[in-house]
């Protein structure tokens, strides 16, 4: 079975997707990390984030040196890198390949709509900007309003990519604990099985 979990930055996707995959013994595929890797490779090689063809040619390559893929430097550039259609086409093909190997939880922005439109269970996780900023601020040890501005900027940068599938189950995690959100997704999987 394929489960997709899409949503905006800070909605709890990674935490929930990883926990669901652990609970069910499924493979976890973090598609955002793949775009972050590409961004890091482009930064290392000095490739212009506006050059879609050059970026698409780098899909699948790994950064040569140690790099923090969740750093602000990568986060600030990843939207520009991931918006090119030729990049997305190659990424989606790789993501699809990984999902077809075995039962998987795919996490991202367009996994239920574009990567695996036939997925058996599709979830769209969302939360208020305030809740998302507060969570990221705790993770990063930064001020909430500063993180809020970064997340709002990424929402704008990702707007085109963020494509909830029409048949996705929407879960607002603003008032939920991680355990409650994970339980909600697992219940959907059990109902589909
Ligand atoms: O989930 P994340 O914050 O690690 O994702 C990093 C970026 O990658 C995000 O700002 C937009 C892009 N992304 C995308 O365009 N499509 C996806 N399926 C996943 C991520």
The range of the structural domain enclosing residue 29 comes to 2-192
Q: Which atom of ligand 1 is nearest to the CA of 95?
A: 18
DSSP-derived secondary structure for 57-68: TTTTPPPSS---
Does position 163 have pLDDT exceeding 80, yes or no? no
Give how many domains the chain has, as a whole number.
Answer: 1
Bridge partners of residue 52, in order along the sequence: none
CA of 192 to the centre of ligand 1 (A): 27
> Do residues 42 and 81 touch, judged by C-beta distance below 8 A?
yes
Sheet containing strand 104-108, strands side by side:
27-30, 104-108, 2-6, 121-126, 169-172
109 within ligand 1 shell (Cβ under 6 A): yes
CA 67/CA 89 separation, integer angstroms: 25
Q: For residue 88, what is the domain's CATH number?
A: 3.40.50.300
Q: What is the pLDDT of residue 157?
A: 86
Q: pLDDT tens across 105-150, in order?
A: 999 999 999 999 999 999 999 999 999 999 989 988 999 999 999 8
Residue 47 CA neighbour count, 13 Å, CB half:
21
Specify burial of residue 138 (Cβ count, 10 A radius: 0-12, 13-18, 19+). exposed
31 within ligand 1 shell (Cβ under 6 A): yes
Beta strands in the chain (DSSP E): 2-6, 27-30, 104-108, 121-126, 169-172
Which three-class secondary structure string do you get for 151-167? HHHHHHHHCCCCCCCCC
* pLDDT classification of 190: cutoffs 50, 70, 90: very high
Q: What is the pLDDT of residue 19?
A: 98
32 within ligand 1 shell (Cβ under 6 A): yes
Structure tokens that stand for 16 in this block:
């929930």
CA 181/CA 188 separation, integer angstroms: 11
Q: What is the pLDDT of residue 9?
A: 87
Q: pLDDT tens across 22-72, in order?
A: 999 999 999 999 999 999 999 999 999 999 999 999 999 999 989 999 998
39 within ligand 1 shell (Cβ under 6 A): no
Q: Which atom of ligand 1 is nearest to the CA of 36?
A: 6
């Amino acid at each position: 079975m394929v489960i997709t979990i899409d949503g905006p930055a800070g909605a709890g996707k990674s935490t929930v997707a990883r926990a669901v995959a652990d609970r069910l013994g499924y493979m976890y595929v973090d598609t955002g990390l793949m775009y972050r890797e590409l961004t890091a490779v482009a930064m290392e090689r000095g490739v212009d984030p506006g050059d879609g063809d050059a970026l698409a040619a780098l899909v699948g390559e790994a950064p040569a040196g140690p790099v923090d893929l969740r750093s602000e430097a990568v986060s600030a550039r990843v939207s520009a890198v991931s918006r090119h259609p030729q990049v997305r086409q190659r990424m989606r093909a790789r993501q699809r390949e990984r999902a077809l190997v075995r039962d998987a939880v795919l996490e991202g922005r367009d996994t239920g709509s574009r990567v695996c439109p036939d997925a058996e269970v599709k979830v769209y996780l969302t939360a208020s900007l305030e809740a998302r900023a507060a969570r990221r601020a705790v993770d990063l040890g930064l001020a909430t309003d500063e993180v809020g501005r970064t997340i709002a900027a990424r929402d704008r940068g990702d707007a085109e990519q963020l494509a909830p599938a029409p048949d996705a189950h929407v879960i607002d995690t603003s008032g939920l604990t991680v355990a409650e959100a994970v339980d909600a997704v697992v219940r959907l999987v059990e109902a589909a099985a």
